[in-house]
Amino acid sequence: MSTRAQQYAAEVVGRERLSAHLVRLVLDVGVDPDLGAGVEGAGAPFGSTGVPDEWVGLIVPGQFQSRYYTVRALEGTRLTLDVVVHAVGLVTEWAMRPDCVGDRVTITEPKGSFSLPPGARWLMLVGDLTALPAMARIAETTDLPTRIWAEVPDDLPAYLPSRAEVTWIDPPGEGASDLARVVEGIDWPEGEGYFWMAGESAQMRAIRKHLMRERRLPSTHYDVMGYWRGGAVRQPRAVDPGPIWRAGKAAGKTDDEIWADYDRQQAEASAQQ
């Protein structure tokens, strides 16, 4: 029996810039059911696990490494992923190009982690911009009272469902997070509930310790996932898309003109390295 994850071919059929750091991609996952021949389950259509924080691996053209993205929505064969574009990155740089529409990509079968314990009466969700898609989908699929702490650099008031009580937090800096401190200051509701959190890995490690040692939560009552690693592993690069995007919009430029500015600044930065 093969232990390889099932893979699916997909085509990028839509791309929308939601904000300075968030790009929505719509993939058609019904394009080539034969991809992954020899792997158990090959040929089966892509389907949701039904777990609201489910994610897929995404392999973009010319690459063999995957990066993980939350299934923001799946309607028929249309799969929506919301991709954070940060300072530098394999998927980031691909997703930033408007001409990624039409590209063929590979995705892996979805997996999920969210697991509400029986008896939970409330939900608390905490995360940065990479966790926003999962927090939105979780909040859309529950009737429980839900509080969300979202540490995001962009203005996205309509992204989360209005029934959730949302606290928006500015990140302390580009590519930085202070969520561990935020969680340590939270007032916890009475009774049993479920705490879900995702974001930068060092912050998540600190929170796991806090939940175990200070809050003494049983492990069935929380789920804390490192979605990306900051700090020492960052590669050198100076051009951040956020300010270029904002300046371009303020100047009334089209998306193409803004990306031309970005390309020019990136070329200048590379030439100086």
Which residues of this chain interact with ligand FAD, rule CB under 6 A? 55, 67-70, 82-84, 86-92, 130, 133, 175, 225, 227-230, 233-235
Owner of token pair 């959730």: 164
Residue 65 C-beta: closest distance to ligand FAD, Å = 8
Sequence-distant (≥ 6) Cβ neighbours of residue 111 within 8 angstroms: 49, 51, 54, 55
Cβ of residue 137: shortest distance to ligand FAD, in angstroms?
A: 9
Nearer to ligand FAD, 95 or 166 (CB): 95
Quick check: 244 and 265 in contact, CB under 8 A?
Answer: yes
What tokens appear for 234 in the block?
A: 């960052």
Q: Which is nearer to ligand FAD, 98 or 189 (CB)?
A: 98
Cross-strand bridge partners of residue 28: 11, 78
Q: Which is nearer to ligand FAD, 90 or 169 (CB)?
A: 90
Report the nearest approach of ligand FAD to the CB of residue 7 (Å).
17
CB of 191 to ligand FAD, least distance (A): 28
For ligand FAD, the closer CB: 42 or 87? 87
Burial profile 194-215: b = 16 or more Cβ within 10 angstroms, e = fewer: bbbbbbbbebbebbbebbeeee
In the complex, the smallest distance separating the C-beta of residue 72 from ligand FAD, rounded to whole angstroms, is 7
Query: Is the Cβ–Cβ distance between 15 and 98 less than 8 Å?
Result: yes
The alpha helices in the chain, defined as continuous H runs, are: 90-95, 132-140, 179-184, 201-209, 241-250, 255-272
Dihedral of the alpha carbons of 85, 87, 88, 92, in degrees to the nearest 10: 0
Q: Between 42 and 206, whose beta carbon lies closer to ligand FAD?
A: 206
> Would strands 22-32 and 222-228 be described as parallel, antiparallel, or unpaired?
unpaired
Q: By C-beta, is 68 or 122 nearer to ligand FAD?
A: 68
- When CB distances to ligand FAD are compared, the closest residue is 89
Least Å distance between CB 73 and ligand FAD?
11
